[in-house]
Structure 1
Amino acid sequence: MNKTELHALLEKQQSAFKKSPPNIKTRLDSLKTLSDIVEQNKDKLIDAVYKDFGVRAREETLFLEIFPLQDEIRHAMKNLRSWAKRRHVQGAWFLLPSSAYYQYQPLGSVGIMGAWNYQILLTLSPLVDAIAAGNHAILKPSEIAPESAEVIKKLINSNFPEEYIHCVTGDAELAKDFSSTPFDHLFFTGSTKIGKLVMAAAAPNLTPVTLELGGKSPAVIHNSYSVKLAAKRIMAGKLFNCGQTCVATDYVIMPNAMNREFENEARKLLENFYPDISENEQYSRIINSGHFERLNSLLKDAQEKGARIVELSDINLDKPKLMTPKLVFNVSDEMELMQEEIFGPVLPVVNLETIEEAVEYVNERPKPLALYYFDNKKSRINWLLRNTLSGGVTINDTLYHLAQHNLPFGGVGASGMGHYHGFDGFKTFSKKRAVMYQKNFAVSDYLHPPFTDLKKRLINILGRITKV
């Protein structure tokens, strides 16, 4: 699809929306249809993801993509009528006897750009929110995972009218055209680098954007916390999808005295999680050779600059796109792997002795998408929360704040802008529209020109009453 065809599709959707915006019943029916086609075709989706990566466990795709998507649809259907209700608010007293309320209304036709690392979830989850809010939508899955992109396209386009929901696929040139299309809202998931280009492309149209990006999400371990438990939960989250997760731990901060135990526990856990890792069908591959080479380049740069790289597996065979997990000690800011998001099974360790040093280190860098802290003392936990800022936080675990439907998900600063999931996703794709209803008799009628002495006194009285 070229730029002209894309614009024609958008105009078709916007025209259809203006004639008949989806009502609550239509939205609920559409969500049910989406749920049904995902359930009926989950094997096709899982197989497509496997082909994109070369190896990825069926259970991982079910647990991390299919199940969360279906649960999100269920949550939206359960709560949609409540979310869409008109909400009355207390009116300003000097505008009595008026009443005031707000209601959420759909924006129109929105664009959604998915991400390759979790193509199913990160393309269709924003669609759930867009449908719930009453919008029409055009989807653009990532071209880096072409097999899953084509399955999603076939399922969407064979079950929804083109003027309502449609999916397009194509290369980076189409992605560029998609970003510059004048949608009523544009939703992008991907890297910070590409996010900047998307925002720049959307700016001439004044298209509002939601950017779900990434960054370097740290895990901080207090010296009082169990190294064994922290290592287990950090490594479990890190090794899902071979580290190719936007909220995976990007580096660990802990006191130097923990290094040896953390390394030993990580090694034991790897053997437990992924025995015979080179032949293990539950350990994912890197998405393509370009990303594989990028990761090796990061490791080479770190080693040349003095890092100690610890191979956690006993097997390190030269297989296409197979990268075994590694810890990296003695890191410094000059190393490339400490300057960009790693997005792979490589975990640097930064040795700092106190929580104050750890917080200072995190705050000197771009705000992360996620922050993980391992500690059981509430006063220290609360202090860390007050003195840091990140997209989201999980205490004593990793990743799972992402799965809380009643919590917003989104970054801050370099890790993104805007939120989705649950009610926050519904709001993202809606206009919170203010409405004031004035009665036939109103105090404000007596405040119009000409400003007589009586009106001047009345305005002076209002000024004194409203003064703090």
Structure 2
Amino acid sequence: MNAPMNPLDAHKATMNAALNRQKSAHLRDGPPSLEKRIDWLNRSIDLLIGHQAEIAKAVNADFGSRSPEATALTDVAGSIGPLKFARENVAKWMRPQRRKTTPAILGLFGAKATVQYQPKGVVGVISPWNFPVNLTFAPLAGIFAAGNRAMIKPSEYTPATSDLLKAMFAKAFDEEEVAVFVGGPEVGQAFSGLAFDHLVFTGATSVARHVMRAASENLVPITLELGGKSPVILSRGADLATAAARIMNGKTLNAGQICLAPDYVLAPQEDVEAFVAEAKAAVGRYFPTLKDNPDYTALVAQRHYDRVKSYIDDARAKGARVVEINPAGEDLSQQEHRKIAPTLILDPTDDMKVMQEEIFGPVLPVKSYRTVDEAVDYVNAHDRPLALYWFGTDEAEKDRVLARTTSGGVTVNDVIFHVAQEELPFGGIGPAGMGAYHGHDGFLEFSHKKAVFQQLKKDIAPMLGLRPPYGEAIRKYLAGQIKR
């Protein structure tokens, strides 16, 4: 009798079968037409529109407390936008691109050089828990526009939403087009080892190392959307009231559970107290209460709540000044959900956990600086972040900061908003990720860029002396090429 298959192998066998069906369908049907790609995009939009109430309910159940408006903004509308943008532009993106021939004289005689954009085939998507719907559907805009099929592994930390996603896609797509697999880490481990034609992972840098290692076994090209400690540099002369309002809005959106959330602030030493006052005022306007306020999101799980609380406790124990912004003075130690008040950590030092790890919660360290070069040096002494934010009016300083720092993206005089620009690539660098998508860059990321050269019908190589036996003609040609 054969021994029973272990769970990892069983999951992998099931998913491999689905992958093989999708690859076979891709070969059978060939590159999908423009109409088919638009159909896939439209079906995705219709799913989001038709299930917005169920999405809000599922996400709220997973988080314990997250407002339907926040989910509608970030997960529903935030997904429809990229899908519609792709739908409007895919016809243009699909066209072959003409390139110049080398040497140029070949083009004069009728030779052609083009780049053709082919679908890669089947793209795997490992989506995270913080925006479980958006970070599933937003990559699909580029994946479908490029003509690929998709297999999806949503997060086990948001099980209600993951189950809903599986049911939603099953209503609108055949498994030869989209297949969804739910489950815990063992499912994710098996999924990341499949021989996809491309793999997208959004999540923690620590997990990304395992995903990339598994993908390397099959030489699967990979897009990693990670995170890191995205800094805010407040310039001297910045409008502190506006800056604090925008920074705290970004920090409290989804309770800071955003890869692009501002992770720490670098402020001129003389402006720190004013910034604290403005931050308190901004939070008070947004959230007069916290405990039972549906607009203020809870942390997704107890382990994340405990982790963020430990950062606060560690900073306090090591001498930081901790400012809890709790407008109604509520007792959050006794609550139904896992809410943490927006908290500023003043005078943090590098030995504190809050300055060593991505926070992913409503906690914001504020460090002072004497010169902007000191602030830039601090940023450059650490891993390159997913985003950098600069607030101010000094254009020369802004240009210097942007030139001397390297980050995945930048928003000037606000936070996070560059991710909403479909004409801009979204991606990280170094530990913050690799590859980029959104808009045209997403189409390119999920396409194979095939070089095609069409030679002249008339064979002119003998005329130019480019074939043996070599003589004076090729020596003249080479003399023209081998020079500055």
Determine if the TM-score, normalized by the shorter chain, exceeds 0.5.
yes
Which string of whole-angstrom CA distances, capped at 9 and with x for unpartnered residues, describes residues 117-151 of structure 1?
00000011111210110001101111111111111
Unpaired runs of 5+ in structure 2?
1-9
| Equivalent in the alignment of 2:303 | 290
| Equivalent in the alignment of 1:183 | 196
Matches within 5 A, 1:369-384: 369-384=386-401
2:324 matches 1:303: no
2:474 matches 1:458: yes
Counterpart residue identity of residue 179, structure 2: H
**Which of the numbers 11, 18, 21 marks the counterpart of 2:27?**
18
TM-score, structure 1 length as denominator?
Answer: 0.97
| Equivalent in the alignment of 1:336 | 353
Report the Cα offset of residue 95 of structure 1.
Answer: 6.8
Over aligned residue pairs, what C-alpha RMSD do you find? 1.3
Matches within 5 A, 1:250-261: 250-261=263-274
| Equivalent in the alignment of 2:120 | 107
Q: Secondary structure at the match of 2:451?
A: strand
Q: Secondary structure at the match of 1:379?
A: helix
Cα gap change, 1:143 to 1:260, in 2 (>3 Å): same
Q: Secondary structure at the match of 2:118?
A: strand
Counterpart residue identity of residue 462, structure 1: L
Counterpart residue identity of residue 474, structure 2: L
| Equivalent in the alignment of 2:45 | 35
2:444 matches 1:434: no
How many residue pairs match? The answer is 466
Matches within 5 A, 1:37-436: 37-93=47-103, 96=106, 97=109, 98-313=111-326, 314-318=329-333, 319=335, 320-436=337-453
Higher mean alpha-carbon deviation, 244-253 vs 262-271, is at: 262-271
Over 3 Å off, 4+ runs: 442-449
Counterpart residue identity of residue 37, structure 2: R
Higher mean alpha-carbon deviation, 339-348 vs 351-360, is at: 351-360
Counterpart residue identity of residue 220, structure 1: I
Report the Cα offset of residue 462 of structure 1.
Answer: 3.0
Identity %: 38
Give, in whole Å, the separation in 1 of the partners of 2:89 and 2:299: 38
Counterpart residue identity of residue 230, structure 1: A
Q: Secondary structure at the match of 2:345?
A: strand
Give, in whole Å, the separation in 2 of the partners of 1:103 and 1:316: 61
Cα gap change, 1:356 to 1:70, in 2 (>3 Å): same
Given that 2:256 and 2:362 are in contact with CA atoms closer than 8 Å, whether structure 1 keeps it comes out as yes
Counterpart residue identity of residue 10, structure 1: L
Given that 2:466 and 2:474 are in contact with CA atoms closer than 8 Å, whether structure 1 keeps it comes out as no
Higher mean alpha-carbon deviation, 17-26 vs 200-209, is at: 17-26
Give, in whole Å, the separation in 2 of the partners of 1:371 and 1:297: 26
Q: Secondary structure at the match of 2:200?
A: strand
Give, in whole Å, the separation in 1 of the partners of 2:434 and 2:80: 25
Report the Cα offset of residue 460 of structure 1.
Answer: 4.3
Give, in whole Å, the separation in 2 of the partners of 1:54 and 1:274: 18
Counterpart residue identity of residue 245, structure 2: K
Given that 1:94 and 1:443 are in contact with CA atoms closer than 8 Å, whether structure 2 keeps it comes out as no
Unpaired runs of 5+ in structure 1?
none
Given that 1:214 and 1:247 are in contact with CA atoms closer than 8 Å, whether structure 2 keeps it comes out as yes
Report the Cα offset of residue 369 of structure 1.
Answer: 0.4
Give, in whole Å, the separation in 2 of the partners of 1:442 and 1:283: 72
Higher mean alpha-carbon deviation, 179-188 vs 255-264, is at: 255-264
Report the Cα offset of residue 316 of structure 1.
Answer: 3.6
Q: Secondary structure at the match of 1:101?
A: strand
Counterpart residue identity of residue 52, structure 1: D
Report the Cα offset of residue 381 of structure 1.
Answer: 1.0
